């Protein structure tokens, strides 16, 4: 894969259906990763809409992880578990964030999970943040509403933050056929 | 056709603002991500200033060649639209988005903008 060994690494295992990338602060890599995972999702899911949604989520999560990494290092892991005609997709990003950023993420996700309607919550966040000057404040709500993914967070020691977005998707006929699932 | 905004061209994004038959036309192609957030914000600020100065009735925004837009750039659109909402009703102008149905994020994101300001926004996803 076209990644500089000093800057990043790539691991891919088709049998387990996951890929994991880690790299230092290079925002231009985020779009490269989005295109790579779009291809990964396209081939695994054969569902353009699902691919588009999870690619959007991957981009937003990774961009946040890179932007708010105190040491400039971020990691993304994408898992696709296929069971029969459905797949569970889980995207995890990991970084070490400043305490106030970790607290903001924890608080935002907690508030978001209390909302019963992702789209209404998203609209509310759009209204609240329309004139905000620092950061968009929209990324997590966008993942929840537009990408239709559940979002959770784990905060660990020394500022470790893992944000997880996950969803179930029905596999298309093309994907089922390609995998030989009855 | 007059260019209002120095055309922006980078490896990822190209953006122009022009006047075509007395209408303001914004065109963005490529990818709008973290690297061009400031550019998108400045571009939309210029558009708003020009639209209000010229009392235009509508601004056309062509996103048909925009592969992706991140939430920071999306938020610049939200801010712009909220500025239009804050104008006196008689000074408000409409915004027409041209979207590409084959680029799937556009439908969801533009639908969210439309819910935010239904009275101002029209989405055309038919012409290419």
Sheet holding B94-98, edge to edge: B2-9, B13-20, B23-32, B58-69, B94-98, B121-124
Chain B residues touching residue A27 (CB < 8 angstroms): 33-35
Tens digit of pLDDT for each residue in B5-24? Answer: 678 888 889 999 998 887 89
Phi, psi dihedral angles at B70 (to 5 degrees): -85, 175
Domain range A8-171, CATH class:
alpha beta
The gap from C-alpha B64 to its chain's centroid, in whole angstroms, comes to: 11
Chain B residues touching residue A123 (CB < 8 angstroms): 112, 115-116
Measured CA to CA in angstroms, residue A101 lies from A136, A164, B81, B93 at distances of 14, 16, 28, 38
Please tell me the predicted confidence (pLDDT) of residue A5.
Answer: 33
Contact B23, B58 (CB under 8 A): yes
Task: Please report, for chain A, the start and end positions of each structural domain, with discontinuous segments joined by +.
Answer: 8-171
Would the pLDDT of A8 be above 70?
A: no
Classify the phi-psi angles of B50: left when phi > 0, otherwise alpha if psi is within -120 to 50, otherwise beta. alpha
Would the pLDDT of A172 be above 80?
A: no
Q: What residues of chain A, 27 to 46, have a C-beta less than 8 Å from chain B?
A: 27-28, 30-31, 34
The number of C-beta contacts closer than 8 angstroms across A and B is 71
Question: Looking at residues A42-66, what average pLDDT do you find?
Answer: 89
Task: Please report, for chain B, the start and end positions of each structural domain, with discontinuous segments joined by +.
Answer: 2-124
Q: How confident is the model at residue B127 (pLDDT cuts 50, 70, 90)?
A: low
- Type and span of the H or E element at B8: strand B2-9
Among A9-23, A39-53, A69-83, A166-180, name the one with the lowest average pLDDT: A9-23
Helices (H), A4-47: 28-45
Helices (H), B63-124: 71-86, 104-116
Could you tell me the two tokens for A1? Answer: 């894969």
Tens digit of pLDDT for each residue in A14-24? Answer: 444 677 787 77
Domain range B2-124, CATH class:
alpha beta
Phi, psi dihedral angles at B41 (to 5 degrees): -65, -45
Q: How confident is the model at residue A12 (pLDDT cuts 50, 70, 90)?
A: very low
- Cβ within 8 Å, pair B82-A131: yes
Question: Looking at residues A112-132, what average pLDDT do you find?
Answer: 94
Interface of B with A (CB under 8 A): 12, 31, 33-35, 68, 70-72, 74-75, 78-79, 81-82, 104-105, 108-109, 112, 115-116
Average predicted confidence (pLDDT) for chain A? 84
- Cβ within 8 Å, pair B33-A139: no
């Amino acid at each position: 894969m076209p990644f500089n060994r000093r800057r990043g690494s790539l691991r891919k295992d088709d049998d387990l259906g996951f890929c994991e990338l880690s790299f230092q602060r290079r925002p231009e890599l985020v779009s490269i990763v989005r295109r790579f995972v779009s291809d990964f999702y396209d081939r695994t899911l054969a569902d353009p809409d699902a691919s588009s949604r999870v690619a959007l989520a991957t981009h937003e999560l990774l961009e946040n992880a890179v932007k708010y990494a105190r040491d400039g290092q971020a990691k993304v892991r994408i898992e696709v578990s296929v069971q029969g005609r459905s797949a569970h997709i889980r995207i995890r990003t990991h970084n070490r964030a400043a305490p106030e950023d970790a607290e903001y993420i924890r608080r935002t996700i907690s508030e978001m999970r209390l909302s019963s309607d992702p789209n209404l919550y998203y609209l509310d966040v759009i209204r609240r943040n329309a004139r905000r000057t620092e950061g968009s404040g929209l990324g997590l709500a966008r993942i929840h509403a537009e990408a239709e993914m559940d979002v959770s967070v784990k905060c660990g020691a020394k500022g470790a933050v893992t944000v997880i977005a996950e969803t179930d998707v029905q596999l298309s006929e093309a994907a089922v056929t390609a995998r030989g699932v009855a | 056709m007059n260019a209002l905004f120095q055309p922006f061209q980078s490896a990822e994004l190209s953006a122009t603002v022009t006047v075509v038959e007395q209408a303001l036309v914004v065109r963005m192609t490529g990818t709008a991500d973290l690297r061009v957030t400031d550019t998108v914000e400045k571009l939309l600020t210029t558009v708003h200033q020009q639209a209000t100065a010229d009392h235009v009735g509508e601004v056309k925004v062509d996103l048909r060649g925009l592969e992706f837009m991140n939430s920071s750039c999306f938020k610049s659109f939200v801010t712009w639209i909220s500025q239009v909402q804050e104008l006196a009703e008689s000074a408000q102008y409409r915004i027409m988005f041209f979207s590409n149905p084959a680029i799937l994020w556009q439908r969801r994101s533009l639908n969210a903008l439309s819910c935010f300001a239904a009275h101002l926004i029209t989405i055309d996803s038919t012409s290419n």
